[in-house]
């Protein structure tokens, strides 16, 4: 029976995530499978992989053929590195302790690189948010300045209008008081 290690699609349109399964080579993509050994979510940055390492190694060692994508996932997770080191142990090139030490060193470097990628992505996101906040502050300052100028112009116009009204009222009072203060001219008798 030809077995394949492949991805089984789940999720909605445009947002797929996958199960990593062992299936017969002639079974449908999302159909019957022998065993589920993990999940793969390409929607996160970096992609999230949860893998049962021992079962994946077992199936690779027994001859299950992975698809191209699954091969790269397994390689990135270290299944093929472990297979290579176990092959060296079987040939007698080195013992199992040395193989485990080499694998642990490789895994540490991979973990450090992954942590660096995550940190870089987080820092980039912080920088984008910081830049967006600064731009928003500048826009708000410009708006506040324009609003302050508008209010100052309105207050100046209001003050000028009030000063004009006060001047008009003063002129009207002066005009009313001027005729009242002037002595009334005696009326001449009308000629009959």
User: Is residue 24 assigned to a domain?
Assistant: yes
Task: Domain of residue 35: give its range.
Answer: 3-79
Number of separate domains in the chain: 1
Q: Residue 16 sits in a domain of what CATH number? A: 3.30.1320.10
User: Is residue 141 assigned to a domain?
Assistant: no
User: Is residue 13 assigned to a domain?
Assistant: yes
Q: At 49, give phi and psi (nearest 5°).
A: -130, 125
User: Is residue 158 assigned to a domain?
Assistant: no
**Long-range contact set of residues 104-110: C-beta below 8 Å, sequence gap at least 24:** 106/78, 106/81, 107/78, 110/76, 110/78
User: Is residue 172 assigned to a domain?
Assistant: no
Q: Which of 103-112, 132-141, 164-173 has the lowest mean pLDDT?
A: 164-173
Q: What is the pLDDT of residues 129-167, one digit of tens each?
A: 999 999 999 999 999 999 999 999 999 999 888 888 888
User: Is residue 190 assigned to a domain?
Assistant: no
User: Is residue 104 assigned to a domain?
Assistant: no
């Amino acid at each position: 029976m030809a077995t394949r290690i492949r991805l089984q699609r789940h999720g909605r349109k445009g947002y797929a995530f996958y199960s990593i399964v062992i299936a017969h080579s002639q079974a449908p993509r999302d159909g019957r499978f022998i065993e589920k050994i993990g999940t793969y979510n390409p929607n996160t940055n970096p992609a999230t992989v949860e893998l049962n390492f021992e079962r994946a190694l077992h199936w690779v060692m027994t001859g299950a053929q992975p698809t191209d994508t699954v091969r790269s996932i397994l390689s990135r997770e270290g299944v093929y590195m472990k297979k290579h080191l176990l092959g060296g142990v079987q040939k007698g090139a080195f013992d199992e302790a040395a193989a485990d030490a080499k694998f642990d060193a490789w895994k540490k470097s991979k973990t450090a690189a992954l942590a660096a990628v995550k940190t870089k992505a987080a820092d980039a996101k912080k920088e984008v948010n910081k830049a967006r906040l600064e731009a928003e502050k500048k826009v708000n300052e410009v708006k506040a300045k324009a609003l302050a100028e508008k209010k100052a112009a309105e207050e100046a116009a209001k003050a000028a209008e009030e000063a004009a009204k006060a001047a008009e009222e003063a002129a009207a009072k002066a005009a009313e008081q001027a005729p009242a203060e002037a002595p009334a001219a005696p009326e001449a008798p009308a000629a009959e």
